[in-house]
Structure 1
Amino acid sequence: MSHLKPDSSLSCQLVLKFEEVGYKVRVGKEGGCLSSCYGGQKNVNEKTILNGISGVVCPGEVLAMLGPSGSGKTTLLTALGGRLNGKLSGKITYNGQPFSGTVKRRTGFVTQDDVLYPHLTVTETLVFTALLRLPGSLTKAEKVCQAKRVMEELGLGRVAHSMIGGPLFRGLSGGERKRVSIGLEMLVNPSLLLLDEPTSGLDSTMALRTMSILRRLAAEDGRTVVVTIHQPSNRIYNMFDKIVVLSEGSPIYYGQPSSVLEYFSSIGFSSSISVNPPELLLDLANGISLDSEQTAENSIEPECGSKSVKEKLISAYHKNISTGLKTELSSINPNNNNKEWCTSWWEQFTVLLRRGLKERRHDSFNNLRIFQVISVATLGGLLWWHTPQSHIQDRVSLLFFFSVFWGFYPLYNAVFTFPQERSMLIKERSSGMYRLSSYFLARTAGDLPMELALPTAFVVIIYWMGGLKADPVTFLLSLLVVLYSVLIAQSLGLAVGAILMDVKQATTLASVTTLVFLVAGGYYVQHIPAFIVWLKYLSYSYYCYKLLIGVQFDANDRYQCSPDGTSCRAADYPAIKSVGLTGIWTDVCIMALMLVGYRLIAYLALRRLRPR
């Protein structure tokens, strides 16, 4: 990609070194009650996933990690990208320094599974990423131009205006989605580019074209490129500068691809027939020696034969390659360079806000949601049609309906927000694309237009149809109270979703919470026992209901309380008296604390979601 030159402020060359990298995971289950009661031991074992793997990749080089499925390729790549959770032994350095936020923002990581926004087009996907990740020294037009160049380079021009697609509607093909994922990382010219199976899902021609681009990216722009690949073709195999071959987590070869046949022949694994090096490596990593393949097939215990082959290969690696590799690693002493965020907080916020509005325009502004709200408002208006002022019970019930509907409808919508974007958030945060605070505020602010427009339309319809106080100031205050409650309900939904990060669990908890708030809202139960009265003070529905009552009624308002025409004070009506008409500003302040508190909890819960 010769015409995608890196900006000096964006990137610098990076040397990746990994020495004796090991990784183990715990398998099995702990002993139950019987084992613990009778002194039994916990049945917990450790499985070795990576076992003493070393190597170095310099700028301009492409390192490929080869091996069969389950050999540890993806685990090692994840560890090199600083995304592996758990205890990792050994040492991994980037220009002589450990992994840090600075390194993260200089690293491009392409996962095997494509994590993309389904409702964005290819152009929108790449342009928004360019605006977020390219440095502030470039203008917006230059960033857009960079995105279009990457599209053309990867052959995506034909589908530039096509949506990515998802499970519910058709979009790009698997190969096209893979190229978009690669383009997102190539876009920023990272110092270190890590790719997990970049050719999976691509035909041989497009796979070769993709690897050719990666090869040029390394050679011409001085990038450090590491890929995992299962079984490359000969043409792709010859593009690698170095390869690491893994077998069940242990290295059996490290060095130049051209030396593979010579090396394995020197340790007794030669073949009497012509064989492609990639095929030879895969057979050996599986414990199959070509000259002994027939013997292994006819053997009573073929597993024993494969184990002996693997043990011999590992032993030969430590004897012939390991010592020289240690010398190579100790002789390289790179310099370290740092880099700050590419874009300012405000730039990140505005780009994320625009991207969010485009991605969710098909969900937030859909006809079904609008129909739901308008139909409920119209039906409610007909049921409470021009309620007489003397029918105080109906008017109070209408106000409680306001607080119930707009206390729970936005909560259920907000619960889905973060669980649905969990994989995307982890991916982009792992790349250091933006600050969490800019994402959080942009994501929540992007929901406001629809979250506030629908309740406004709802109140406009049902307020005047329902015969509430025909005063513009009272109407405006009632609308503000409802919108206030909507923001708090949305905040609680965001907090529940961010804490649990599971849609089913979050909706279950939201259902229980709404039921409690509904009962304790001050309308159904007006005399709550003292030992549980604190519940109503946790319910924002109670405060919304109380504020609506306070806006709609004065203490001296009268209503007809008996058939003979006797009038009573509104303040003495039981449903109003139970909540009171005083302390309005205190209630406003308590709701403000809820609004800020719930959103703070949601933000802190997202901070626990560690990028990988």
Structure 2
Amino acid sequence: MISRDTPILELNNVFHSGQVESGTWLQRIMGSVKTGLILKDISLEIHRGEVLAILGSKGSGKRALLDVISRRTEGGDMSEATTRGQIHLGGSVLTRKLFQERCAYVTRRCDLLPGLNVRQTLEYAASLTIGSKEASGQGRSSRVRQVMADLALTQSANRSVNDITRCERRRLEIGVQLVKDPVLLLLDEPTRDLDPLGAYLVSSMVSADARRNGRAVALTAETPRSDVFPFLHRVALLCLGDLLYAGPVSSATISGSPNADSQMRRHHLLTYFADIGFPCPRMENPLMYYLCLSTVDRRSRERFLESNHQIAALVDKFKAEGAPYRKAFGFDTDETLAGGPMGMGVPPPPLPPPFSQPGTVRVAKALVSRQISSILNFRLSGLGQLCLRVLSLPLFFLLLWLFYSGREAYQRTYVSTNGLIFNFLAGCYFISIFSTVCTFPVYRTRYFQECQEGLYGGWLFHLAYSVGSLPFTIVATLASSRIAVEVSGLTSYESWLYLWGIFFACHVVAEQQTLAFMRVQHCSLSAASNSLLTSSIYLILGSGTLRSLKALPEWLFYLTYATQPRYAGSLLAGQLFSVNPHAIPNCTAVPPLLPPGPTYSNIGVSQREPIHQALVISCGYDGLSYLTERYGDSVAASPPSFDLGISMAFAAGVTVFVGILFLLPLPAVVKSKFRE
């Protein structure tokens, strides 16, 4: 049990070094950018129910301080950074695992899935953070309702996240982290880009939640407004990594403590700076006034030197005399017991035990359900995804039906049927690539943000995404294969099954191949281009539609056995040429050989022989002969079930390979790009 006198968060002599200038992605990967001290000897603490505002101009180290507290500077994300000092949470050393279990961090950029409404967003956030032990009673549902009530989101519960105001979205982003009831909440610029009323609402609700639930809150701000001053209990002023002040913004003491110092009420922001010769003028915003005091003036060389010297003196002054202010309480217990400004008649309750973590199966189920719900929501964003996943491929096959359905008998040649097979394969590959690059990025961004919170790993995300996409792929390929059966003139249900299996396998291979490129490439256009190029090479070399496999060099011929289009093209050609041999008349090539004018009966004997030979050759050339010429004897004689089985095996193998790829770590600079 954490006592009231024990700070929730305590930092002692924390130093942090890392990248101090921007560079190219290659320089950051190679570690050749300039590094230096970002935070210098930071000591501060936050008690239960307090809100700490970390103030500073751009580049002062506010976000770096939050990253150090959240332990994101450890390990993979910022491996080039080093941190020294002591950080404790409730008396225990704050590790990355402990922070992920008991604390929460709302970053400046927090992407939400566009197809979900407010209630669904919070419910799925609870499913990913609260285990089955709290699933009933006072578990996830009650927690979601309470968070919506605390953040005034109940009236917007059924509205899409795309239709809510900016202030409501910011409160929803905070609510996503509050559903797990953290002991410590970090907020990076929570009032950024909000209007005055929105900033006031967010600040007041965060402060009320902290006092009501005994939660410690630390937030950053560059331009704090005067109307949020009453909702802050502590403030930390930073300038270029140095601490100018850390302590209460108003007077406070501990009621009933026999050792309470009578001068503790004087230990706050205004009295400190007044005592050292910098009183805040009347009718001035104290936060902005002292923030300007702690900002380097760069308008001229003289002002730069003067302000830099003044800030250095203020830093040294606080190191020498700031300990009593740093340890003072940010609110008065007497005021709280008497019914203080937030209407709290009792002190904050004891800290609740942490929620149990959900199991892997439950997390996977939540991810799949969230993905399907974001698509099947009958809103504009969901309908767009649904059309791309389900309707784009059948629409392409309908276009093929318009071109090929009206063919006459003389147009049903080997060349036209071979082109139809190529269009079948190319459509499955290219439409799958197009739909994947259009729908996957939003899930990828959310994955990298939630992965940083420790909710799940890459392989689980890939598995859930693949399973969630499976129903839409089945529906799209079933409809497309039915259209393909009508276009090709096939009649049996067995042929429909074979075509559906091939289309499904090709669609999955192209989708997983595109996911592999998008795993390492942030630009969707670049990933699509690379996937299209790879698929084009497969189709040219392995399908047998653009070039005969027997005409390839021997080494390239055997290499085609490692491509999925070889088996897909073999099955489709076998169905369209061998299963229905009467679709192509055997003697359509003879009439063009006749000379103009005379018929076969009245031409000379010397002219009849070559025409007769051509007639014999043409009538003896059937679909099996064509397959043998394009693929060779072994492939032409292979059963359709074999080609279908190999194609399905390719789809499963590529899926497993991409899942392994999601297990491999990425450089920190690449992951930060994906989170943006």
Q: Name the TM-score, length of structure 1 as normaliser.
A: 0.81
Q: Counterparts of 2:519 and 2:32 in 1: how far apart (Å)? A: 34
Amino acid of the residue matched to residue 9 of structure 2? L
* Matching of residues 108-147 of structure 1 within 5 Å: 108-139=104-135, 143-147=140-144
Match of 2:625 in 1: 572
User: Which 10-residue stretch deviates more, 535-544 or 562-571?
Assistant: 562-571
Q: RMSD of aligned C-alpha atoms?
A: 3.8
SS in 1 for 2:160: coil
Q: Counterparts of 1:385 and 1:575 in 2: how far apart (Å)? A: 27
* Matching of residues 501-540 of structure 1 within 5 Å: 501-520=522-541, 521-526=543-548, 527-533=551-557, 535-540=559-564
Distance verdict in 2 for CA 1:192–1:46, change over 3 Å: same
Structure 1: runs of 5+ lacking an equivalent: 1-7, 31-41, 166-170, 289-295, 329-335
Match of 1:241 in 2: 233
SS in 2 for 1:255: strand
Deviation at residue 153 of structure 1 after TM alignment: 2.2
Amino acid of the residue matched to residue 306 of structure 1? S
Is the CA contact (8 Å cut-off) linking 1:133 and 1:342 kept in structure 2?
A: yes
Is the CA contact (8 Å cut-off) linking 2:224 and 2:287 kept in structure 1?
A: yes
Amino acid of the residue matched to residue 302 of structure 1? R
Match of 1:25 in 2: 19
Asked if 1:71 corresponds to 2:86, the answer is no
SS in 2 for 1:131: helix
Amino acid of the residue matched to residue 150 of structure 1? V
Q: Counterparts of 2:393 and 2:45 in 1: how far apart (Å)? A: 60
Amino acid of the residue matched to residue 543 of structure 1? Y
Q: Counterparts of 2:645 and 2:496 in 1: how far apart (Å)? A: 21
Match of 1:458 in 2: 480
SS in 2 for 1:365: helix
Match of 1:51 in 2: 40
Match of 1:279 in 2: 288
Match of 2:167 in 1: 175
Amino acid of the residue matched to residue 143 of structure 2? Q
Match of 2:363 in 1: 348
* Matching of residues 287-306 of structure 1 within 5 Å: 287=296, 301-306=302-307
Amino acid of the residue matched to residue 21 of structure 2? V
Match of 1:549 in 2: 573
Is the CA contact (8 Å cut-off) linking 1:385 and 1:467 kept in structure 2?
A: no
User: Which 10-residue stretch deviates more, 505-514 or 95-104?
Assistant: 95-104
Match of 2:495 in 1: 474
Q: Counterparts of 1:121 and 1:353 in 2: how far apart (Å)? A: 16
156, 159, 165: which one pairs with 2:156? 159
Distance verdict in 2 for CA 1:362–1:140, change over 3 Å: farther
Is the CA contact (8 Å cut-off) linking 2:248 and 2:325 kept in structure 1?
A: no
Larger radius of gyration: 2
Q: Counterparts of 2:247 and 2:188 in 1: how far apart (Å)? A: 20
Q: After superposition, what is the alpha-carbon deviation per residue over 1:552-594, rounded to whole angstroms, capped at 9, x for unaligned?
A: 5669979837634733464432124374333867655654553
Match of 2:269 in 1: 260
Match of 1:168 in 2: none
Q: Counterparts of 2:43 and 2:469 in 1: how far apart (Å)? A: 48
190, 206, 209: which one pairs with 1:214? 206
Amino acid of the residue matched to residue 89 of structure 1? T
Match of 1:35 in 2: none
Q: After superposition, what is the alpha-carbon deviation per residue over 1:499-541, rounded to whole angstroms, capped at 9, x for unaligned?
A: 3232122012112112212211222121112344455334322
Q: After superposition, what is the alpha-carbon deviation per residue over 1:16-40, rounded to whole angstroms, capped at 9, x for unaligned?
A: 333323223153779xxxxxxxxxx
Q: Counterparts of 1:427 and 1:26 in 2: how far apart (Å)? A: 23
Is the CA contact (8 Å cut-off) linking 2:247 and 2:325 kept in structure 1?
A: no
Q: Counterparts of 2:184 and 2:242 in 1: how far apart (Å)? A: 24
User: Which 10-residue stretch deviates more, 58-67 or 338-347?
Assistant: 338-347
Q: After superposition, what is the alpha-carbon deviation per residue over 1:280-314, rounded to whole angstroms, capped at 9, x for unaligned?
A: 321211147xxxxxxx99x8722122111111112
SS in 2 for 1:105: helix
Q: After superposition, what is the alpha-carbon deviation per residue over 1:88-113, rounded to whole angstroms, capped at 9, x for unaligned?
A: 32133445234233431332211223
Structure 2: runs of 5+ lacking an equivalent: 25-30, 251-267, 330-350, 376-381, 588-613
Q: Counterparts of 1:14 and 1:509 in 2: how far apart (Å)? A: 53
Deviation at residue 255 of structure 1 after TM alignment: 1.6
Is the CA contact (8 Å cut-off) linking 1:25 and 1:47 kept in structure 2?
A: yes
Q: Counterparts of 2:151 and 2:354 in 1: how far apart (Å)? A: 28
Is the CA contact (8 Å cut-off) linking 2:104 and 2:184 kept in structure 1?
A: yes
Q: Counterparts of 2:325 and 2:149 in 1: how far apart (Å)? A: 43
Q: Counterparts of 2:165 and 2:249 in 1: how far apart (Å)? A: 32
How many pairs are equivalent? 569
SS in 1 for 2:173: helix
84, 87, 93: which one pairs with 1:90? 84
Deviation at residue 203 of structure 1 after TM alignment: 4.4
Q: Counterparts of 2:509 and 2:581 in 1: how far apart (Å)? A: 30
SS in 2 for 1:246: strand
Deviation at residue 146 of structure 1 after TM alignment: 2.8
Q: Counterparts of 2:286 and 2:563 in 1: how far apart (Å)? A: 69
Asked if 1:603 corresponds to 2:603, the answer is no
Deviation at residue 322 of structure 1 after TM alignment: 6.2
Distance verdict in 2 for CA 1:563–1:134, change over 3 Å: same
Distance verdict in 2 for CA 1:52–1:321, change over 3 Å: same
SS in 2 for 1:27: coil
SS in 2 for 1:501: coil
Distance verdict in 2 for CA 1:158–1:98, change over 3 Å: closer
Amino acid of the residue matched to residue 55 of structure 1? L
* Matching of residues 478-489 of structure 1 within 5 Å: 478-489=499-510
Q: Counterparts of 2:286 and 2:66 in 1: how far apart (Å)? A: 22
State the percentage of identical aligned residues.
23
Q: Counterparts of 2:514 and 2:561 in 1: how far apart (Å)? A: 18
